[in-house]
Amino acid sequence: MNKNIIRLDSVWKIYKMDEVEVPALRGLDLTVKKGEFLAVLGPSGSGKSTALNMIGSLDTPTKGKIYLDGINISTLNESDLAQLRGRKVGFIFQVFNLIPSLDAVGNVALPMVFQGVSRESRIKRAKNLLIKLGLGHRLTHKPSQLSGGERQRVAIARSLANDPEVILADEPTGNLDSKSGLEVMEILKNLHKKENKTVILVTHDQKLVRYSQRICYLMDGKIIKTRRM
Amino acid sequence: MNQYVRLSWESIKHRKVRSWLTMLGIFVGIASIVALISLGQGMSNVVNEQFEMMGVDKIMIMPGQNLQSMGLAGEVLSEDDVEFIEKIKGVKLVAPMLYKTVRLKYKDQMEFGFVIGLPTDESMDIIMSMGNFNIENGRKLEKKDKNKAMVGCRHTNGDLFDKKVRIGDKIYAEDQGYTVVGSMECIGSKPDDGQIYIPLDSARDLLNEQTKIDAMYVQVKDGFNPSEVAETIKKKMRKDRDLEKGEENFNIQTSEQLMESFGVILGVVQAVLIGIAAISLLVGGIGIMNIMYTSVLERTKEIGVMKAVGARNKDIMMIFLIESGMMGLGGGAIGVVIGIAIGKFIESIAAKTGYVFLKITFDPGLIIGALAFSFVVGALSGLLPARRAAKLKPVDALRY
């Protein structure tokens, strides 16, 4: 049951800025067990977002290996990687990143489009997810017609569209008022507790770590401390 | 496929102003190309029809070195020439005509118009067919007719005189009265449709020209080559008039030669029209590329989001291909409709002012071609920036 779903094997990420090489990750080792709630804490510039992007295969490491559900993702081509990402990982961003031209249902259904789910099932599942997250009255609203908290809940619904095993949340409360932030964190907690999702939360907000089971402190591209709750 | 169309459609709807601007670029170009080419095509169709009616067995002889001089330099043809030509081998019929601008009067209203003297024998038909004169009401002039007239359609439709001329009415040319026995269908040019036609003998009396001929048409006998007959006529007339080759004071053209020279003019006109249309199409194409390019780049972040939720590069390309293609096609369709409308408008204006020659012909091939072009231009101009954006790493596209 407690198998590793994510494993980072001395992962380096070096950005080239003109002639200067700026390392964002310096040999990061990390394993995340299935069903775990992990918080990655660190100041800005510590490489925590970079690490999360690597895990979600949005970015490629300069050096090192990343395994997602046992698959070395550096061996996959663009198309397979996209498919895997769409199936296994759900992203929640600080700035929501919803598609402005699509309504709530359309946004939630979008990941299913790329997995070839039929239109009927897409819409049905999208509606169910939105209703479950308390947005039953906002189904046909465009992102611009929704509050920040509502937008983030649409984004959470979207991250769940293909029923992924891993939810990656990058400062999900960063753009929200405290009440909405709290709601979002409760939802994440429930996803972890009730649906046994693996949740990785990246934040610099100490208050949020109480939802997690394990905290990794990141500094200058390396984990400097790990703490179990 | 269906889901891509849906996504693209949502995006087009979402950016209404931008979508309209993009389409504006293409539809101006398409509208002008459809209108201009249809006009050019219509014009050449009408002209070809006229020539077809004329037949290829006709030869036209006019005084003067070339068609344009029209005998203004004092060169003339005469009844003697008619007799002379009638005897040449291969000539079936010679139809001489006499014409002049005169004062026409009807019910105390005076206008200027052309009077044409026509032979009343069988050779009249040659002139009728060459000039595209067709009887609409009444009858043609006949042999025994004296001081009878046929009138152009502007007489009978009330365009020339305030009151409409009817069959049986009297119309005056230089104070000489003529009873109207027939009226013509409209030909499509104002001066032609204001003409009156009287027997050649009556015209000789009216204009006081006993032997002069302003032009003649020759019909070639069956089995003879019109250009060879024309060449023989030219040679014999030169000899008769004691002229060297190249200094003829008359000119001879077969209907085929006429057709060719008209064809050249029409070709030039069409080339100019197509050139203008091509330029506006090019401008439209560049416009659509410009707007498409910036608008796709603006949406790089959106592309990043789509990749983050599992879109493959080819999914993204399809979405943008369809979106920009639909916009191109939409612009093209509007352009075709507007182009047809412009063409029809020009046609109706031309018809009102008497130029029936300006007819519109819509070639389905042109319309399909225009639509295909606008789709391809639209699709390509959306695809190129989308390809660039899709090739970015998702993280870079998201950071855009």
- Whichever domain contains A103, its CATH number is 3.40.50.300
Chain B closest-CA separation from residue A92 CA (Å): 10
Same domain, B135 and B244: yes
Buried b (16+ CB within 10 A) or exposed e, B347-367: beebeeebebebbbbbeeebb
Same domain, B166 and B87: yes
Same domain, B296 and B317: yes
Q: Please tell me the predicted confidence (pLDDT) of residue B357.
A: 66
Using an 8 Å Cβ cutoff, are A41 and A211 in contact? no
What would you measure as the largest C-alpha separation in chain A, in angstroms? 53
In the block, tokens 């990794």 appear at: A216
Q: Of B193, B222, B248, which marks where a domain is finished?
A: B248
In the three-class reduction of DSSP (H, G, I as helix; E, B as strand; rest coil), residue B251 is classed as strand
Query: B38 in a domain, yes or no?
Result: yes
**Is the model's pLDDT at B223 over the cut of 70?**
yes
C-alpha dihedral, A184 to A190 to A196 to A201, nearest 10°: 30
Residues in chain B: 400
Same domain, B126 and B208: yes
Mean of pLDDT values over B167-184: 91
What would you measure as the largest C-alpha separation in chain B, in angstroms? 98
Percentage with pLDDT > 70 across chain B: 96
Same domain, B118 and B211: yes
**Is the model's pLDDT at B199 over the cut of 90?**
yes
Structural domain boundaries enclosing A50: 35-58+77-228
Structural domain boundaries enclosing B334: 2-51+260-399
- Tell me which amino acid residue A147 is: S
Any B CB within 8 A of A121 CB: no
Mean of pLDDT over chain A: 92
Chain B closest-CA separation from residue A34 CA (Å): 21
Chain B closest-CA separation from residue A138 CA (Å): 18
Q: Please tell me the predicted confidence (pLDDT) of residue B68.
A: 58
Mean of pLDDT values over B41-60: 80
Query: B20 in a domain, yes or no?
Result: yes
Cα angle: B72, vertex B256, B221; to 5 degrees: 95
Same domain, B164 and B239: yes
Cα angle: A65, vertex A66, A71; to 5 degrees: 110
What is the predicted ipTM?
0.93
Any A CB within 8 A of B13 CB: yes
Using an 8 Å Cβ cutoff, are A86 and A80 in contact? no
Query: B253 in a domain, yes or no?
Result: no
Confidence of residue A146 (pLDDT cuts 50, 70, 90): very high
For B255, the token pair is: 């209907």
Q: Of A86, A99, A161, which has the smallest distance from its Cβ to B305's Cβ?
A: A99
Q: Please tell me the predicted confidence (pLDDT) of residue A56.
A: 92
Query: B163 in a domain, yes or no?
Result: yes
Chain A closest-CA separation from residue B365 CA (Å): 36
Judging contacts by C-beta atoms under 8 Å, the chain A residues touching residue B322 are none
Q: How many domains does chain A have?
A: 1
Same domain, B44 and B114: no
Q: How many domains does chain B have?
A: 2
CA distance B347 to B358: 6
Selected for mutation to probe chain B from A83, A94, A98, A114 (highest B CB count within 10 Å) is A114
Same domain, B202 and B304: no
**First and final C-alpha spacing in chain B:** 28
Any A CB within 8 A of B400 CB: no
- Max mean pLDDT among A27-41, B246-260, B354-368 falls in A27-41
- Tell me which amino acid residue B302 is: E
Helix axes B16-54, B2-14, angle to 10 degrees: 100
Between A and B, how many CB-CB pairs are < 8 A? 80
Query: B70 in a domain, yes or no?
Result: no
Mean of pLDDT values over A147-165: 95
Chain A closest-CA separation from residue B283 CA (Å): 29
Confidence of residue B308 (pLDDT cuts 50, 70, 90): very high
Same domain, B46 and B137: no
Mean of pLDDT values over B385-391: 84
Q: Of B248, B273, B300, which marks where a domain is finished?
A: B248
Mean of pLDDT over chain B: 86
Same domain, B167 and B291: no
Q: Which region, left, alpha or beta, applies to residue B116 given φ > 0 means left and ψ of -120 to 50 means alpha?
A: beta
Over residues A181-229, the pLDDT tens digits come to 999 999 999 999 999 999 999 998 888 889 999 999 999 999 999 999 8
Selected for mutation to probe chain A from B309, B315, B391 (highest A CB count within 10 Å) is B309
Same domain, B218 and B110: yes
Query: A23 in a domain, yes or no?
Result: no
Query: A67 in a domain, yes or no?
Result: no
Using an 8 Å Cβ cutoff, are B76 and B62 in contact? no
Confidence of residue B66 (pLDDT cuts 50, 70, 90): low
Judging contacts by C-beta atoms under 8 Å, the chain A residues touching residue B313 are 78-79, 82
Mean of pLDDT values over A102-116: 94
> B3–A119: do the CB atoms touch at under 8 Å?
yes
Query: A101 in a domain, yes or no?
Result: yes
> B312–A78: do the CB atoms touch at under 8 Å?
yes
Structure pTM? 0.71
Query: B255 in a domain, yes or no?
Result: no
Using an 8 Å Cβ cutoff, are B94 and B82 in contact? yes
Same domain, B268 and B243: no
Over residues A176-190, the pLDDT tens digits come to 999 999 999 999 999
CA distance B176 to B188: 28
Q: Of B192, B218, B248, which marks where a domain is finished?
A: B248
Q: Please tell me the predicted confidence (pLDDT) of residue B57.
A: 85
